[in-house]
Amino acid sequence: MKIGTIAAQAGEKSYGFFKTGETHGRFPAHIPLHLVVGAEDGPMLVVQAGTSGLEIEPSLILPHVVKELDPAQIKGTLVLVPLMNTSGFEFAEINSAWDDKHLNRLGRGAADGSVSEQMIHEYYQAVIAKADALVDIRTGSQWSYHHFAGVYDEGDVEASKALAVALGLPQVALGQAADDSMALEAARDGLAVVAAHIGGGPGLRDYRDRDLGRMRNAVLNAMRRLGMLDGALESDVDSVAVINRHTVIKPSGQRGFVFMDKRLRGAQVKAGDKLGYVRHPFSGEVIEEIMAPRAGVMVDAGASWPVPLEGSVLAILGDLVEEIEVA
Amino acid sequence: MLKVGNVSAKAGEKTFGYLETAQSRSGMRLDVPVHLIAGAQPGPTLMLQGAIHGAEVIGSIAILDFVAKADPAAIRGNVIAVPVVNRAGFELGTRGSLVDDKDISRLFPGKKDGSVSDQTAYIYFQEAITQADVLIDFHAGARTAYERYVLFNAEEDPDNLTLMEQRRRKLVVAFGLDQAAFFPPGTFGSGASKIAIEEVDTLQITLEFGGGTGWFKNGEDNVRDAERGIWNILKAMGMIDGELEADGPLCTVYEAGVVIWKPAVDGLFIRDSKFRDQLQTGDVYGRLVDPYTGELLAEMPTPKDGIVIPSGQEWPTVGATSIGILGSIDRVEDRRALDLSVSFD
């Protein structure tokens, strides 16, 4: 198995940088990548994280998941990217510092595009296009806090849903918004794809061990689901709520201090229920109340820090489809 | 009449306006939002200040909560409440002002003919701070850290306190947190701004209160306790009646002289120490690891024995500010045995 210059034989692990080019200042455009090739044939799973340079918490645990794995016990191949956006990480930016592009908003990239578009193009062709499944781990960065597995409406939805349930997160949200991501392109290509939203800075102090544990479980559970690894699924929840999402609330009215009611996460709300409110940051007046436009279950997701980024998801609502035991 | 620049309030009134300060090159005005609460009866002047570092907003919310509830008819004296000093930093979520890349908190008494932040600091200092008997300055861990203690200036001679130092000791404890700290002189820069504030006879205490990494679980509690502290200060200053409320009867005061800084290498930061951990010299406070392989790049040992005070970086990158602070216990104040009232007659 060889990806760029990173090679591993059956039963081996390897690590290196998937190199795609250089910037004007001769810095490498590259992606750190772990390759774990099982002793036996099997499917190929890609796990990627850190496409935003501020979604870096997965790199606290993902390299250790690789260390935990014994290739002799694995069927198939795991490709794991713990932190894709190295320049964004370097300069504490969401986008690539090289061309101000969000690496997960470039689709499958472009061979004749900018530095990032070229990098994503080469990565997509060399890695994702050859895979059977993709787990795209996303976090709430420094502003939001999430715990759900998103499934796109496109491609093999049943396979993606089954994979999402197996990750062991408390909720699966069907109807993940089309977002120009690599994951969406992979779904369109027929891979089993999950956008796994796990954790975020506002919960880091108090829930770090749980959140990193959920990232670990997500990787190992995906491998188990795909038959790459033996053993029972690991999860800190007994059942997974599958929700068909119908409403995404983003800042659309007044801006200021935004307070969303975290106690409603996971709860059923009625149309017209108050989900949060916006306060004038200087006068203190409540200038907008954020209401549920229709009834639904609140997905465990959304902005937490009271000064959310423009375009942040404040809340997601959907209809409960089923509860599935984690088994 | 309480007057801060172009904003004013008559006795018994509560008003809100923008203190006119400076304008940037694009025409953006950086006027400072100011609430004035002019008590119906005479008394001292308390000033509340939030978000002079733009992303440190827990105190800002507490100030707004306080202002919403405050009744001028029941207050003796005046309150000048500024929820957000650094509007440009607040807008962009940054510590300083990107308009001129300056930290307003380091500029007092400011410059009339300086950059936009220099001018803002000058007008704000002249119009607001110089009027205050007490300034409560709210800071926090922004989005990347978490803190919970009262910070105050080191005393020149603890056995021979000045009047301001005597008052400050009381207000530090009166605020109601269970931990407080002072930095030995020179620990963080020259402290010129703090000196300028003291030279106009304004007593300053700083709150390092809350932060983004603990917001999801603790944000509401932090805001509530910060507001509680504001009311406590009014009570201690005799501006309203009532009993003080606190975390508990004791307040541990640390001499916080051990600062952990980033080592020569950089990587992904993992903090191993927790608040109140007692570290011996050489014990590891945190580590830097390779962000892609998890391999250890460097350990950050404490250079001296110390107790981890409730302050420090938790987001897995480190920046220009300190990563952690350790201290030794200077004293433990027992609120039950203290008269915490402070007179400004």
The string of pLDDT tens digits covering residues A96-132 is: 999 999 999 999 999 999 999 999 999 999 999 999 9
Write out the E strands in A200-238.
Answer: none
Query: B320 falls in which pLDDT band (50, 70, 90)?
Result: low
Among the partner-chain residues A56, A60, A206, the one whose CB lies closest to the CB of B217 is: A206
Give mean pLDDT, residues A250-262.
94
Q: For residue B216, is pLDDT > 80?
A: yes
Cα separation, B77 vs B74, whole angstroms: 10
| Contact between A284 and B67 using a beta-carbon 8 Å cutoff | yes
Q: For residue B232, is pLDDT > 90?
A: yes
pLDDT at residue B323, as a whole number: 85
B159 and B227 Cβ atoms separated by less than 8 Å: no
Q: For residue A290, is pLDDT > 90?
A: yes
Strand order in the sheet with A257-260: A257-260, A274-279, A286-291
Q: Nearest chain A residue to B267 by CA: give it.
A: A90
Identify the CA nearest to A194 among candidates A265, A242, A237: A242
pTM > 0.90:
yes
Give mean pLDDT, residues A248-276.
96
A59 touches chain B (CB under 8 A): yes
Mutation pick from A89, A260, A305, A312 vs chain B, by most beta carbons of B within 10 Å, is: A305
pLDDT tens-digit series, residues B191-202? 889 999 999 999
Tokens of B110: 């400011």
Q: SS3 string of B32-51?
A: EEEEEEECCEEEEEEEEEEC
Mean pLDDT of chain A: 97
Give mean pLDDT, residues B304-328.
88
At which residue do the structure tokens 């216990």 appear?
Answer: B329
Least confident of A306-320, B240-254, B261-275: B261-275
At which residue do the structure tokens 């916006």 appear?
Answer: A278
Q: Nearest chain A residue to B146 by CA: give it.
A: A205
User: What ipTM score was computed for the predicted complex, to two decimals?
Assistant: 0.91
Residues in A touching B35 (Cβ below 8 Å): 283-284
Return the H-helix or E-strand segment holding B139: strand B134-139
Identify the CA nearest to A63 among candidates A29, A96, A15, A20: A15
**How far is residue B222 from each of residues B61, B147, B209, measured CA to CA in Å?**
10, 10, 7
Tokens of A98: 């090289």
**In the A/B pair of chains, how many CB contacts fall below 8 A?**
109
Cα separation, B79 vs B40, whole angstroms: 12
A94 and A53 Cβ atoms separated by less than 8 Å: yes
At which residue do the structure tokens 């119906």 appear?
Answer: B40
Give mean pLDDT, residues A156-184.
97
B73 and B15 Cβ atoms separated by less than 8 Å: no
Mean pLDDT of chain B: 95
Give mean pLDDT, residues A246-267.
96
| Distance of alpha carbon A145 from the chain centroid | 12
**How far is residue A132 from each of residues A135, A223, B303, measured CA to CA in Å?**
11, 11, 51
pLDDT at residue A308, as a whole number: 95
pLDDT at residue A323, as a whole number: 97
A9 and A35 Cβ atoms separated by less than 8 Å: no
Among the partner-chain residues A64, A145, A305, the one whose CB lies closest to the CB of B143 is: A305
Give mean pLDDT, residues A137-155.
98
Tokens of B96: 């300083």
Cα separation, B337 vs B331, whole angstroms: 14
Cα separation, B86 vs B98, whole angstroms: 10
Q: Nearest chain A residue to B58 by CA: give it.
A: A306
Tokens of A176: 């993940």
End-to-end Cα distance, chain B:
19
Residue B197 CB contacts under 8 Å (≥ 6 apart), including other chains:
B108, B125, B129, B135, B204
Residue A252 CB contacts under 8 Å (≥ 6 apart), including other chains:
none
pLDDT at residue A119, as a whole number: 98
Among the partner-chain residues A59, A92, A145, the one whose CB lies closest to the CB of B292 is: A59
Q: For residue A138, is pLDDT > 80?
A: yes
Cα separation, A129 vs A186, whole angstroms: 7
Among the partner-chain residues A15, A207, A284, the one whose CB lies closest to the CB of B68 is: A284
Q: Nearest chain A residue to B33 by CA: give it.
A: A282
pLDDT at residue B114, as a whole number: 94
Mutation pick from B147, B216, B288 vs chain A, by most beta carbons of A within 10 Å, is: B216
Query: A327 falls in which pLDDT band (50, 70, 90)?
Result: confident
A247 and A294 Cβ atoms separated by less than 8 Å: yes
Q: What is the DSSP secondary structure assignment for residue A144, as one 8-state letter?
A: B
Q: For residue A186, is pLDDT > 90?
A: yes
pLDDT at residue B261, as a whole number: 87
pLDDT tens-digit series, residues A51-99? 999 999 999 999 999 999 999 999 999 999 999 999 999 999 999 999 9
pLDDT at residue B262, as a whole number: 84
Give mean pLDDT, residues B235-254.
97
Residues in A touching B67 (Cβ below 8 Å): 284
| Contact between B217 and A64 using a beta-carbon 8 Å cutoff | no
At which residue do the structure tokens 């001679």 appear?
Answer: B157
| Cross-strand partners of A274 | A291
To the nearest whole angstrom, how far is the Cα of A56 from the nearest Cα of chain B? Answer: 7
Query: B238 falls in which pLDDT band (50, 70, 90)?
Result: very high
To the nearest whole angstrom, how far is the Cα of A282 from the nearest Cα of chain B? Answer: 6
- 3-state SS assignment for residue A287: strand
Q: For residue B142, is pLDDT > 90?
A: yes
Q: Nearest chain A residue to B312 by CA: give it.
A: A205
Cα separation, A13 vs A18, whole angstroms: 15
Return the number of other C-beta atoms located less than 10 Å from residue B218's C-beta: 19
Tokens of B328: 């030794």
Query: B311 falls in which pLDDT band (50, 70, 90)?
Result: confident
